[in-house]
Structure 1
Amino acid sequence: MRTPGPRRSLGYALADWIEYYLPHGPGDVQGQEIELDSEMLTFLACVYAIDGQGRRRFDEAMLSRAKGRAKSEVAGMIVVAESLAPVRFDHWAEAGEVSDWGYVYEVGEPVGRPVTYPFIRCLATEESQAGNTYANVTYMLSHSERLAEDYPGVDIGNDWQSSTRVFLPDGGEIRPSTASSASKDGGKESFSVADETHLYVLPELRDMYETVERNTMKRKAAEPWFLQTSTMYAIGEDSIAERTHRNFKAKKAPRLYFDHKAAPSTLLEDAPYEDPAELKRGLMAAYGPFAAHMDLDRMVTLAHKPTQDRAKFRRYFLNLPVSLSETWLSKAAWERCELPQDVEPGERITVGFDGSDHDDCTAITACRVSDGYVFTPRFPDGRPMIWTKWDDGDPDSWRVPRAEVKAGMSHVFATYSVARAYADPPDWRDECDAWAAEFGEETFLIFETRVATRMCPALDRLKTSVMGGELTHDGNASMAEHVGNAKPVRRPSGIAIAKPSQDRKIDSAVTAALAVEARADVLKLDAAQTSNSFSAYG
């Protein structure tokens, strides 16, 4: 098979290898034979282009496509190929040369060989998930009879859905990694993939990416390279996707292959966006050959709903970079994560507290450690632990009912197993000191939200969890309002939030961020203790 692309490339034969050996990954067409469209054929031809000496032309690639374009599946195909297929140059084809699986080479076409001891890393954003790419990898490896016959000995563990590593028959492995693990493994990568790098806005995620990126320079003979897949980013969040695009536009990355497909930029304007025909044409341009598999009419209807965040629609479905909006995180995006659940007494939680005297709301928010579920604790009579000015009284004389707040905090600690609590102390320093003494100074900690170097990463974590569909919450109406009120404010260390006006509160958005940040820190401590325990027992 041939596509418009570089003449010297291992990608043509590799595309044929993928179509011969691999089935589609999880989804509507799982298990069916793969037939790569023209865009993906061209992409493979370009990322596997070589020079006259047979060396790779690109050390890094970014595949930028609209949401739903099966980017993770394409990345999974490449991971499997990098682990088993002939992906590095061996020699130039002679007349009549045919591959083991039946690909007929043209004279002088490059012929590949497998990587010796491939070590492949699939980066993930959260401790609790292995990443979409890795799920495609394990499915493809375990559901191909041809692979099982020609490449015996691949070990994915007990089951493709629960797999935590893949051992390869002639040595090497495929491993999903998170921010806490990627920096600990010594840097043997021959290939790495990072999915949805527009979400890589937290400092630890950027550090993870940069650590693995540095590791790709350690094995010259293996010619390591790094693949990103992503939709477009929010301008100003300084995500890895934004940094990569910025370097490409500035011509600071000569060995980067940047493959971006988007709708016309005119759809950033409201008039063409409002026109259903124009919008549908834009969607067709963004999805290319894959548009035939998308319900474009339904997407147009979604785009014009009053509750739809247009900036996010332009990013996700038109693949256009957009500026940060006046809203830090839309109320609609937050409400889509609503999934009320029961939290049983004794369950392990973390707590966020933001107190005021009379001007602002005071709130206690909790986050379940096991899955990150965010909820507002309630008194036994059902009242939520969130306090704001009375609607039927004199707001100028209203004060936060301190005794009630203190009773609420005591009830939370008595009802649940609180692993950690973060509290913003202004107006409540005496109470915070008393709580630390009562509940333990290693459990109840001060978190100064005015310190941007601490608060910005916490807000990034909360927003990333919502954007990535990884967070669920109880649907507290006040919290939804506060999240929707929050206005982004740029700081040197990231994006902070502020009230757009005095009467539009944001306090429970702050406490949600504190509770989620506390959970992340607890998970890090748990992981460190587990690691130390294993080390102690050798």
Structure 2
Amino acid sequence: MLNETHHWVTGNNGDRMYETIDGNTTKRDSRYLAITNAYLPGEDSVAEKMREAYEKILEGRAADIGFMYDSIEAHAATPLTPEAIRIVLPKIRGDAAWLRVETILQSILDTTIAASRSRRMWLNQIVASEDALFGPAEWDVLRDDSKVLQPGDEIVIGFDGGLRDDSTCLVALRVSDMYACVLGLWEKPDGPRGDDWTVPRAQVDSAVHDAFRAFDVKGFYADVALWESYISEWSDTYGEGLAVKAPGKDSVGWDMRASLKASTMAHERLMRSIFDRKLVHDGDRKLRRHALNARRRTNNYGISFGKEGRESPKKVDAYAALMLAHEAMVDLRARGKKIRKRTGRGFFL
């Protein structure tokens, strides 16, 4: 039995204790049960590692080893009001009937206790760390399962590319309703499979061409770093038919390194669309992971974003691609023009 694994961190050797228990259990061909409250993101506790391992299995990024994860969590938008708590808490506590609602409510309403702790302790919510841009409450409410991207839809595309360690992502936003979905995401595999791994550039290139064949692409903004030659080819092939052009030397390249002010302003526009719930998505777990990994970075121009650390394995590239797609959408609505499609027909007088 592993109890309160949200407190098992490197500082108290909790991670080593977990590895020892796992090894001894494996030797005995046995199982173990871990019971915990919601963890604090960023502490790298055993509880956090278990949740991330479970989500990797759901995403298909890790083998299903018979890992069972059970958690009853309150909806992200649940308010900490007496009316809401009296309804929600009996559902969250399950068969733990000894937890008295009125007593817990007094703790939740105690202003000396941080609201984030109350959410983790009593509502089982994974509440974002202090420097996170978004928590589940802001991101999950944007999910709309009734929408789906259809062939022929008018879209804009954002692209952020890596080479070895960073991820590479292609994100689409539908023009009519700002519906976001991932067209492709290529990430370094965990473990030995990731040794000497590089982004499969041919697959990425094919995904771009597939997108232009399947949809009516109005704008395509791609970060140029590490992908200059491909971006030049994409611009030559599709640039003339785009309704809005990137502010670089060609119609596709949008260099995020060129102007801190431009990228910061673009990011603040994306944040506003998210907080105002103008953007919706399909609940893609990979995009969600990257968005929740993004950390606040303040500069002289406003709020930008980045990973939690330079060498952090928690990637944000899909979020960067979403920002570029959103910026293409902003420009399309502000200064885009209609492109007359070529019919191949000629007229002679």
In the superposition, the TM-score normalised over structure 1's length comes to 0.38
Find 1:336's aligned residue among 116, 141, 155: 141
In structure 2, the partner of 1:276 is 105
2:278 corresponds to which of 470, 492, 497 = 470
2:166 is matched by which residue type in structure 1?
A: D
Q: Measure, in 2, the Cα distance between the counterparts of 1:281 and 1:488.
A: 29
Whole-Å separation in 2 of the counterparts to 1:281 and 1:504: 34
1:512 alignment partner in structure 2? 322
Q: Counterparts of 2:214 and 2:156 in 1: how far apart (Å)?
A: 12
Of 153, 175, 179 in structure 2, the residue corresponding to residue 347 of structure 1 is: 153
Contact 1:331 / 1:481 at 8 angstroms: preserved in 2?
Answer: no
2:186 aligns with one of 387, 411, 416 = 387
Letter in 1 for 2:288: A
Is 1:362 aligned with 2:168? Answer: yes
Offset at residue 331 of structure 1 (A):
3.8
CA contact (8 A) 1:303 1:310 kept: no
Distance 1:277 1:517, change over 3 A: same
Cα separation, 2, equivalents of 1:415 and 1:488: 35
1:304–1:449 CA distance, 2 compared to 1 (3 A): farther
Instruction: Provide the residue aligned with 2:255 in structure 1.
Output: 448
2:324 aligned partner, one-letter code: L
Where structure 1 has 5 or more consecutive residues not aligned to the other structure, the ranges are: 1-273, 283-299, 312-324, 378-384, 530-538
Contact kept, 8 Å, 1:424 with 1:447, in 2: the verdict is yes
Taking the aligned partners of 1:360 and 1:328, their CA distance within structure 2 comes to 20
Preserved contact between residue 148 and residue 282 of structure 2 (Cα < 8 Å):
no
- Give 1:426's aligned amino acid: A
The residue identity in structure 1 corresponding to 2:326 is V
Give the counterpart of 2:200 among 377, 392, 401.
Answer: 401
Check conservation: 2:180, 2:280, Cα contact below 8 A: yes
Aligned pairs (5 A) from 1:90-129: none
Q: Kindly provide the amino acid, as one letter, of the partner of residue 277 in structure 1.
A: Q
Once the two structures are TM-superposed, the CA of residue 303 in structure 1 deviates from its matched residue by 9.8
Cα distance in 2 for partners of 1:371, 1:353 equals 20
Equivalent residues of 2:168, 2:185 under 8 A apart? yes
* Distance (Å, rounded) in 1 between the aligned partners of 2:127 and 2:189: 31
Written as runs of structure 1 = structure 2, the 5 A alignment for 1:315-330 is 325-330=130-135
| Aligned-partner SS, 2:225 | coil
Asked if 2 retains the 8 angstrom alpha-carbon contact of 1:339 and 1:474, the reply is yes
8 Å Cα contact 2:161/2:167 also seen in 1? yes
How do 1:22-41 and structure 2 match up within 5 A? none
How far apart in 2 are the matches of 1:301 and 1:488?
A: 22
Q: Secondary structure at the match of 1:327?
A: coil
Change in CA separation of 1:413 and 1:480 when aligned onto 2, cut-off 3 Å: same
The Cα shift of 1:475 comes to 1.2
Residues 487 and 500 of structure 1 are in contact (CA less than 8 Å); yes or no, is this contact kept in structure 2? yes
Query: Is 1:461 the equivalent of 2:290?
Result: no
1:420 matched to 2:219? The reply is yes
Q: Deviations over 1:52-75 (max 9, x none)?
A: xxxxxxxxxxxxxxxxxxxxxxxx
Shift of 1:516: 1.1
What SS is found at the alignment partner of 2:202? helix
- Aligned equivalent of 1:214: none
Q: CA deviation at 1:428?
A: 0.2
**Cross-structure match for 2:232:** 433
Q: Cα 1:332–1:434, aligned 2, differ >3 Å: closer, same or farther?
A: same
CA–CA separation in structure 2 for the residues paired with 1:461 and 1:471? 11
How many angstroms does 1:327 deviate by?
0.6
Q: Which residue of 2 aligns with 1:534?
A: none
Q: 1:138-173, CA deviations, whole angstroms, 9 ceiling, x for partnerless residues?
A: xxxxxxxxxxxxxxxxxxxxxxxxxxxxxxxxxxxx
| Paired letter, 1:336 | V
Displacement of 1:308 after TM fit? 6.3
Equivalence for 2:178:
372
Query: Pairwise mapping of residues 163-312 of structure 1 onto structure 2 (< 5 A)?
Result: 276-277=105-106, 279-280=108-109, 304-307=122-125, 309=127
Among 486, 489, 498, the alignment partner of 2:294 is 486
Deviation at 1:499, TM superposition (A): 1.0
Between the aligned partners of 2:104 and 2:278, the Cα distance in structure 1 is 33
Contact 2:128 2:134 in 1 (8 A): no
Q: TM-score of the superposition, structure 2-length normalised?
A: 0.57
Shift of 1:310: 7.9
Whether contact under 8 Å (2:128, 2:135) holds in the other structure is: no
Q: Which amino acid aligns with 2:144?
A: L
Matched, 1:497 2:320: no
Q: Is the 8 A contact 2:136 2:292 kept in 1?
A: yes
User: Hey, what does 2:4 align to over in structure 1?
Assistant: none
Deviation at 1:504, TM superposition (A): 0.8
Match of 2:30 in 1: none
The residue that corresponds to 2:3 in the other structure is: none
- How far apart are residue 304 of structure 1 and its match? 4.7
Give, in whole Å, the separation in 2 of the partners of 1:301 and 1:485: 19
d(CA) in 2 for partners of 1:449, 1:437:
21
Judged with a 3 Å threshold, the aligned counterparts in structure 2 of structure 1 residues 330 and 301 are, in CA distance, closer, same or farther, namely closer
State how far apart, in whole Å, the 2-side matches of 1:432 and 1:301 are.
45
Contact 1:329 1:463 in 2 (8 A): no
Aligned pairs for 1:54-65 (under 5 A) are none
The 1-side partners of 2:305 and 2:266 are apart by 11
Contact 1:331 1:483 in 2 (8 A): no
Q: Superposed, which structure 2 residues align to 1:8-47 within 5 Å? A: none
Cα offset for 1:306? 3.2
* Aligned mates of 1:276, 1:520 — CA distance in 2: 44
Partner Cα separation in structure 2 for residue 328 and residue 388 of structure 1: 22
